[in-house]
Structure formats: structure tokens, C-alpha cells
Amino acid sequence: MENDDNREMNMDSLFPAIDTDKTIKNCKHFLAVTFPAMVRTSGKSVSDLKSPTVDDMPRQTSSDNGIERRIYQRIYAEQVVRRTIEAISHCSETSKQVLSYLYLDEYTDTMCYMSIGYSRSHYFDHVKPAALLEFADAYLLDDLHVLKEGEHNEI
């Protein structure tokens, strides 16, 4: 019995309670504002970044800090875009479809729920929030979860 209590306490510390409304809002902002900015900064299109390419050609590093900073920004932006696409691909089929339509194919919400075949209310009340929460779980470059007040991660 004591082992069950310890296991439950460890799970709570690993996965603290999240504020779902704030996490959904955080994901919406990330996907609607940050993600498009990262696509622009990366200098590539989403379709270019959907299929990874390996370029192991050596690069000469620049001694100019401004140029180096810009290169690092582009590399980081490309990683954000790649990890976003990867996170979407790890979601359930319905969530993957919703997130792809909205944030990769630039559908409006109306176009999305009509294409998938959900009612407007079911889409906004259940389907889209679930997709955004799944995305928060799958995106590993940054933590998009917002913890409930009073909760803190002790890891």
C-alpha cells in the first residue's frame, strides 16, 4: 500500500496538474503567432521543412557576431518549425488533421470543421481543445503547459 502511495506521489511530481484553459490559450498563441514567425525566420516554407534533408557539408564559421547571431536564429527557428511539425504528427488522427488544416494548411476554423464533418459546437467545445492539449503534450522543444496555481514542478 505504501508503494502505491509513493508511486502516485511520483506521478504527481512528474505530471503536475495543468490549467487546461491557459494551456490551450498558450498553444493557440504559439501555433498562430510564434510558429508563423519561426517559419518566416527560418527562410523556408513549411513544405520544405516537412521532409528532412541532410546536409553534412562543412561550413565556415563567421567572425562577425551579427552574422553568427542571425545564423543561430535561423537554425533555432528551423528547429521550432521541425519540432512543431513532428509534434503534430505524433497526435491522434483527428487532432493531427485539425492541427494540420489550421496551422500547416492555413484553413479557417469554419473550413476545418466543415472539412472534417463536425458540428461547429462539437468542434469548438471538444475537438479543437483536445487537439491543442495533445499538441502541448507532444511538443518537446519547450513546455507549452501552464500549471494550475499553487502547482510547481520539482524536477
Q: Which domain holds residue 32?
A: 17-43+68-138
153 contacts 48 by C-beta, under 8 angstroms: no
Structural domain count of the chain: 1
Whether residue 86 is contained in a domain is answered as yes
Q: Which residues contact 110 (CB under 8 A, 6 or more apart)?
A: 120
Residue 81 maps to a domain:
yes
pLDDT above 80: residue 22: yes
Q: Is 57 part of any domain?
A: no
Q: Is 151 inside any structural domain?
A: no
d(CA 103, CA 33): 10
Look at residue 3 and tell me if it is in a domain.
no
| Residue 58 resides in a domain | no
> Concatenated DSSP letters for 30-76?
IIIIIHHHHHHHHTS-HHHHHS--------PPPS-HHHHHHHHHHHH
Summarize the confidence of residues 113-134 as an average pLDDT. Answer: 97
Question: Is residue 136 scored above 90 in pLDDT?
Answer: yes
Residues 22 and 146 sit within 8 Å (Cβ to Cβ): yes
Asked whether residue 30 is domain-assigned, the answer is yes
The structure's pTM equals: 0.77
- Residue 91 has a pLDDT of 98
Kindly state the average pLDDT of the residues 6-28. Answer: 79
